[in-house]
Amino acid sequence: MPEYVAVKSPFYDMNFLICIVLCILGVIPGVIYILYHVIEAKHDLVEFYSDKYVRKSGVFNTVEKEIVFMGVLSVTLTQPPGGKILGYGTVTADVAGKHDLNFAGVKDPEGLKDYLLTRKIGAGSIRHLMVD
């Protein structure tokens, strides 16, 4: 059972504006595009566990990537004006290891930031990781 699940917001991509135009110009293509975009966003998520996180994406062509998660050094939250209104943002975390985490267009970015801060590790832990 995951400790936290981060889901992508369907409002993040600028393509959403295109679907509004499609709805105005042609209702059926616009509705189909909106439905596909919402379903695609619901299938783009990250599940956090105590020792790893799992990125899952794709509706028809699915990808699942499991990555070791040792801890967070710092977290940055960025929200454009539209993101504040529609409830999405980008959360970037510096983690112990080779790569950083970047969650663009995530729904409830404050919740994800708060969760990642609970996984923050101190300087003593970093020295321990480097020595071992």
What are the structural domains of the chain? 4-131 (2.30.29)
Mean pLDDT of the chain: 79
Whole-angstrom distance, CA of residue 132 vs CA of residue 116: 24
Structure confidence by residue, pLDDT tens digits, 82-130: 888 888 899 998 887 666 888 888 889 999 999 999 988 876 655 555 5
- The answer to whether 42 touches 53, Cβ cutoff 8 Å, is no
